């Protein structure tokens, strides 16, 4: 798709991968709305980006999502790209009595249910645009789950299946559906799981921009491409490779 003069909402654009995507999209002549819960961090990010519009909201709170959607429709009628990037992940041992269901509930709320909700609420608006896109950020662990982030992996697998179905459901509309699948990336998010060994967020943003321009719908960044290739011939080998590595998200 054409990547200039779009109006883009990045859910979770005040840090990490979302922030780097915002930077590149602004450089390419798009208007970008960044969001996050922490107002101070959001304002600081907007200041650095110069031309971005910051809007504080929590993707897990339906009232805040409703307010956001109304404001976007009123103030940014040209909005045509939604990037679902906000994410939550826990690293823990699945079999040591860590109340996995509570962690799973929170991860599913942020990573999956909130993506469904925001997308469904914005879809009528996006479908009215001549060219539009939804980008869901999943992960390498959507292809082969990691024991380091067990229920997070499951939530990202849900995002993956949902994204495939959304693409299928919208195939004959103006809305293109993309999935960004990063490997371990060096951000605040991945600190607990050795994020400093990950690739820079700038690389993920660059790969996303190139893929959007080329209409590559599933984007296997870095190590994700290797795990994806393995999974095509043997899911067991992909699972083994993922879990032999010191840290993967
Ligand atoms: N880092 C990795 O290794 C890695 C690998 C694969 C996939 N991913 C995925 O990539 C995405 C971005 O991760 P990242 O590493 O860039 O994380 P990050 O640096 O922690 O940034 C996350 C962004 O999302 C916002 N956010 C988090 N929860 C939110 C909520 N409930 N409502 C609104 N905004 C929220 C944060 O702002 P506030 O905290 O102020 O709300 C921040 O702007 C996530 O979906 C993650 O699962 C990350």
Give the pLDDT confidence of 2-27 residue by residue, as tens digits: 999 999 999 999 999 999 999 999 99
pLDDT at residue 244 in the model: 87
Nearest CA to ligand 1 atom 25: 12
Residue 38 in contact with ligand 1 by CB distance below 6 A = yes
Active site residues: 152
Q: Which residues pair with 185 in a beta bridge?
A: 199
Count H helices and E strands in the chain, helices first. Answer: 9, 7
pLDDT at residue 192 in the model: 87
d(CA 86, CA 7): 18
Beta carbons within 8 Å of 128's beta carbon, 6+ residues apart: none
pLDDT tens per residue, range 124-178: 999 999 999 999 999 999 999 999 999 999 999 999 999 999 999 999 999 999 9
Q: Which atom of ligand 1 is nearest to the CA of 84?
A: 45
Going from the Cα of 42 to the center of ligand 1, the distance in angstroms, rounded, reads 13
Going from the Cα of 234 to the center of ligand 1, the distance in angstroms, rounded, reads 30
Going from the Cα of 233 to the center of ligand 1, the distance in angstroms, rounded, reads 31
Q: Which residues pair with 81 in a beta bridge?
A: 8, 133
pLDDT tens per residue, range 40-96: 999 999 999 998 999 999 999 999 999 999 999 999 999 999 999 999 999 999 999
pLDDT tens per residue, range 185-242: 999 999 988 899 999 999 999 999 999 999 999 999 999 999 999 999 999 999 999 9
Nearest CA to ligand 1 atom 20: 189
CATH class belonging to 7-244: alpha beta
pLDDT tens per residue, range 170-187: 999 999 999 999 999 999
pLDDT surpassing 50 at residue 246: no
Q: Which atom of ligand 1 is nearest to the CA of 57?
A: 33
The torsion region of residue 58 among left (phi > 0), alpha (psi -120 to 50) and beta comes to beta
pLDDT surpassing 60 at residue 245: no
pLDDT at residue 249 in the model: 53
Q: Give the residue extent of every domain in the chain.
A: 7-244
Residue 110 in contact with ligand 1 by CB distance below 6 A = yes
Q: Which atom of ligand 1 is nearest to the CA of 156?
A: 47
Q: Pick the closest to residue 183 from 142, 140, 148 (CA basis).
A: 140
């Amino acid at each position: 798709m054409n990547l200039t003069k779009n109006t883009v909402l990045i859910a979770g654009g005040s840090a990490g991968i979302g922030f780097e995507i915002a930077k590149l999209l602004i450089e390419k002549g798009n208007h970008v709305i960044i969001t996050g819960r922490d107002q101070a961090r959001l304002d600081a990010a907007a200041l650095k980006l110069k031309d971005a519009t910051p809007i504080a909201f929590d993707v897990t709170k339906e009232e805040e999502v409703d307010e956001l959607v109304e404001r976007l429709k009123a103030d940014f009628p040209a909005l045509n790209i939604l990037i679902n990037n906000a994410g939550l992940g826990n690293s823990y041992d699945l079999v040591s009595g860590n109340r996995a269901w509570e962690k799973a509930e929170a991860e599913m709320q942020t990573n999956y249910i909130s993506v469904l909700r925001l997308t469904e609420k914005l879809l009528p608006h996006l479908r009215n645009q001549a060219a539009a896109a939804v980008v869901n950020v999943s992960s390498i662990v959507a292809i082969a789950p990691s024991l380091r982030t067990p229920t997070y992996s499951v939530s990202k697998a849900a995002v993956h299946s949902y994204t495939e179905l959304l693409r299928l459901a919208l195939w004959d509309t103006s809305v293109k559906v993309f999935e960004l699948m990063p490997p371990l990336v060096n951000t605040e998010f991945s600190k607990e799981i050795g994020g400093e060994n990950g690739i820079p967020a700038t690389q993920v943003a660059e790969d996303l921009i190139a893929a959007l321009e080329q209409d590559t719908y599933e984007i296997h960044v870095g190590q994700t491409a290797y795990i994806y290739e393995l999974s095509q011939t043997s899911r067991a080998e992909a699972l083994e490779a993922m879990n032999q590595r010191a840290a993967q998200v």
